[in-house]
Amino acid sequence: MLTLTINDKRHRIDVDPATPLLWVIRDHLGMTGTKFGCGAALCGCCTVHVEGSPIRSCVTPVMLVAGKRITTIEGLRSAAGHAVQQAWIAEEVPQCGYCQSGQIMSATALLAQTPHPSDEQIDAAMAGNLCRCGTYQRIRAAIHRAAATLGRA
């Protein structure tokens, strides 16, 4: 049995400890906002926060994060998270939307670390999140918008 703390809620789970966190979140706990895209940390769809840092849950064995503070898109309640989501709405970022949970988790972590990122810092932080609909330009605009909102708060 493993104990996971996800979105401030504790879960006791009976699972093979090598199972990737992604599938525990999706299949065992039924939270489907975090997506499966590649299974190899190449696309960023599965990005969640562990102790506030973005990680790829598709390659993270669940045993490595037992007892740590995990946040998924469903539990994104920080000021930065809210600002990012609002900016995503204002800039009309999503198209198909499949990658956007991961994009938002990466962007939120970036802003927590770097409140006013340059384009180069955005490139570096977001390079691991693929979007086949090509929403990158609007993502960039939305991150700048969220940074401006947070700066005013």
The site for other proteins (CB under 8 A) is made up of: 16, 19-20, 23, 26-28, 30-40, 42-43, 45, 72-74, 76, 85, 88-89, 92-101, 104, 122-124, 126-140
Looking at the chain, the number of H-run helices and the number of E-run strands are: 5, 5
User: N- to C-terminal Cα distance for the chain?
Assistant: 42
What is the smallest separation between the CB atom of 19 and other proteins, expressed in angstroms? 5
Nearer to other proteins, 85 or 112 (CB): 85
- Closest Cα to residue 25, out of 77, 62, 55? 62
Nearer to other proteins, 19 or 113 (CB): 19
Distance of CA 40 to the CA centre of its chain: 16
* Alpha carbon distance 125, 119 (integer Å): 10
Nearer to other proteins, 112 or 122 (CB): 122
What is the smallest separation between the CB atom of 99 and other proteins, expressed in angstroms? 5
Q: Angle at CA 80, nearest 5°, toward 142 and 61?
A: 100
Nearer to other proteins, 68 or 132 (CB): 132
- Closest Cα to residue 119, out of 95, 139, 149, 97? 139
* Alpha carbon distance 140, 88 (integer Å): 10
Nearer to other proteins, 43 or 109 (CB): 43
What is the smallest separation between the CB atom of 96 and other proteins, expressed in angstroms? 3
What is the smallest separation between the CB atom of 15 and other proteins, expressed in angstroms? 8
What is the smallest separation between the CB atom of 43 and other proteins, expressed in angstroms? 6
